[in-house]
Amino acid sequence: MSAPLVRPRNHRMIAGVCAGLAQRYGTSRRTMRVIFLVSCLLPGPQFLLYLALWLLLPNEKAAATSAQSW
């Protein structure tokens, strides 16, 4: 089973979105950050997507406490 998509408390640069995506999809954090930075050179809503993920993805601690309540 794959890891849940959450923003980890450790290894954050800004909000932990790239670290969470890297953890979820099994890549390194550095690779995911480079992919995001390179994608910002292309036209599109990458920055808005990052902000949306920042707001929508739960923190690692919040996700763990909600999972325990079930």
Q: What are phi and psi of 44, to 5 degrees?
A: 150, 175
How many domains is the chain built from? 1
Q: pLDDT higher for 61 or 47? A: 47
pLDDT digits (tens, 9 = 90+) for 7-55: 988 888 889 999 999 999 999 999 999 999 999 999 999 999 999 999 9
Contacts of 43 (CB under 8 A, 6+ apart): none
Residue 2 DSSP label: P
Model confidence at 63, pLDDT cuts 50, 70, 90, reads low
Cα separation, 45 vs 47, whole angstroms: 6
Residue 69: which region, alpha, beta or left (left: phi > 0; alpha: psi -120 to 50)?
A: alpha
Whole-prediction pTM value? 0.79
Residues spanned by the domain of 22: 12-59
Domain assignment of residue 49, yes or no: yes
